[in-house]
């Protein structure tokens, strides 16, 4: 807890900010809002929480009416941040879900659906007395360093906010639970709308993620197959290394995340793609198996030899390779399970 006199003076409010609240206030009010600190087009780099708290408190302290903004930020945080208890369905280790939610949120944001600013209504007048007085009694009230009104009065105790930058660019190093939650915190939407959005994305994940039976052939412990799969996806520009650059996600999970994001809302197209990928891996195994050859003499009937000769010419393949192909295909069809393991 901060022990500065300024903190103690307003600790009733500050104590309820929490780490997420301080970060949100620091980003939206101090960094992106304060154009003298940072250009709106520049990315913001997250700092340690102690530094964030100190920078925000120092800035608030220097304002002519700090209590107005301290009360506003308290109300803003309460309306913006989804409580952790409502996010318990997102496991911090469930990277497939986290990536899906982040990708889906990026998709939604790209459609520019956030056009109407949320309206904040004050219920506890005594707790936000200074904020109410300034909104209602100073029509030309200016929030430094802006040259226009920061608060837009709607009614006696209701207002919206004229942010200088509503969607600041943040340089998150990795895609993880904290990045996901912070991204949702920053959305200019009320908590109920945010919860509906995240729940819809979660339901979509359950309905459209890659089914287990379609990826059961990928063995997380088979290093050669994992490397081949990533290279296969890279060649098709589906695997994006930067998404996993700073993460602790193993390569097997990276493959599943990439497959989830391939035709995410068109499962039939993804099924066709994965089947094609599986066949390519099977062919790769055949090619590797063909590198080591042993001479065999197979006594065939005259009729069978003649058929082999004609089939070889028809398929433009020598007789030895044709026999290998037929044997391997029959073996894979009859003698192995869905994971490519011998049945018997």
Interval 114-136 mean pLDDT: 87
Among left, alpha and beta (phi > 0; psi -120 to 50; other), residue 18 is: left
Tell whether the model's pLDDT for residue 146 goes beyond 50: no
Interval 140-169 mean pLDDT: 72
What was the pLDDT predicted at 38? 54
Interval 90-107 mean pLDDT: 93
What was the pLDDT predicted at 264? 86
What was the pLDDT predicted at 147? 42
Residues of the chain above pLDDT 90, percent: 53
What was the pLDDT predicted at 309? 85
What was the pLDDT predicted at 245? 87
Residue 59 contacts residue 34 (beta carbons within 8 Å): yes
Interval 10-22 mean pLDDT: 95
Interval 270-276 mean pLDDT: 95
Q: Which residue has the tokens 């102690």?
A: 50
The residues pairing with 336 across neighbouring beta strands, listed in sequence order, are 342
Written as six digits, the tokens of 270 are 């993804």
What whole-number distance in Å separates Cα of residue 168 and Cα of residue 29? 11
Tell whether the model's pLDDT for residue 344 goes beyond 80: no
Written as six digits, the tokens of 258 are 């990439």
Written as six digits, the tokens of 52 are 């964030």
What was the pLDDT predicted at 145? 45
Least confident of 102-116, 118-132, 300-314: 102-116
What whole-number distance in Å separates Cα of residue 244 and Cα of residue 254? 7
What was the pLDDT predicted at 259? 96
Written as six digits, the tokens of 184 are 């949702």
**22-46 tens-digit pLDDT:** 999 999 999 887 755 555 567 888 8
What was the pLDDT predicted at 308? 82
Tell whether the model's pLDDT for residue 296 goes beyond 70: no
- Domain assignments of the chain as residue spans, ordered by start: 5-205, 212-334
| pTM for the structure as a whole | 0.76
**306-334 tens-digit pLDDT:** 888 888 888 888 888 888 888 888 887 78
Q: Which residue has the tokens 């998404």?
A: 243
Tell me the average pLDDT of the chain.
86
Instruction: Pinpoint the alpha helices (H) of 63-116.
Output: 66-80, 95-110
Pairing of strands 158-161, 151-155: antiparallel
Residue 90 contacts residue 199 (beta carbons within 8 Å): no
The residues pairing with 153 across neighbouring beta strands, listed in sequence order, are 159
**33-89 tens-digit pLDDT:** 775 555 556 788 888 999 999 999 999 999 989 999 999 999 999 999 999 999 999
**200-252 tens-digit pLDDT:** 999 999 999 999 999 999 999 999 999 999 999 999 999 999 899 888 899 99
What whole-number distance in Å separates Cα of residue 227 and Cα of residue 230? 5
Written as six digits, the tokens of 169 are 């660019």
Tell whether the model's pLDDT for residue 19 goes beyond 70: yes
């Amino acid at each position: 807890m901060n022990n500065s006199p300024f903190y103690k003076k307003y600790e009733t409010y500050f104590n309820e900010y929490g780490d997420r609240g301080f970060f949100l206030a620091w980003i939206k009010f101090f960094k992106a809002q304060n154009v003298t600190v940072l250009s709106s087009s520049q990315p913001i780099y997250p700092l340690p929480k102690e530094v964030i708290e100190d920078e925000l408190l120092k800035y608030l302290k220097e304002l002519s009416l700090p209590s107005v903004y301290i009360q506003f930020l308290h109300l803003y945080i309460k309306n913006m941040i989804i409580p952790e208890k409502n996010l318990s369905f997102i496991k911090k280790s469930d990277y497939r879900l986290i990536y899906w939610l982040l990708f889906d949120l990026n998709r939604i944001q790209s459609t520019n659906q956030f056009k109407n600013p949320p309206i904040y209504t004050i219920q506890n007048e005594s707790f936000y007395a200074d904020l109410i007085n300034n909104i209602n009694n100073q029509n030309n009230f200016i929030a430094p360093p802006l040259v226009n009104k920061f608060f837009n009065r709607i009614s006696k105790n209701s207002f919206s906010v004229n942010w200088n930058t509503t969607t600041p660019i943040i340089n998150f190093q990795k895609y993880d639970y904290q990045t996901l939650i912070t991204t949702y915190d920053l959305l200019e939407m009320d908590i109920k709308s945010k919860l509906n959005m995240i729940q819809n994305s979660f339901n979509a994940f359950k309905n459209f993620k890659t089914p287990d039976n379609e990826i059961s052939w990928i063995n997380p412990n088979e290093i050669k197959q994992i490397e081949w799969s990533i290279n296969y996806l890279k060649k098709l520009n589906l695997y994006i290394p930067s998404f996993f650059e700073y993460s602790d996600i193993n390569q097997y999970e990276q493959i599943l995340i990439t497959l989830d994001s391939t035709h995410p809302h068109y499962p039939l197209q993804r099924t066709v793609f994965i089947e094609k990928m599986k066949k390519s891996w099977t062919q790769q195994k055949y090619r590797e198996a063909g590198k080591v050859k042993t001479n065999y003499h197979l006594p065939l009937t005259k009729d069978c030899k003649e058929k082999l000769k004609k089939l070889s010419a028809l398929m433009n393949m020598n007789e030895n390779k044709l026999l290998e192909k037929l044997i391997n295909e029959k073996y894979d069809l009859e003698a192995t399970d869905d994971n490519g393991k011998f049945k018997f």
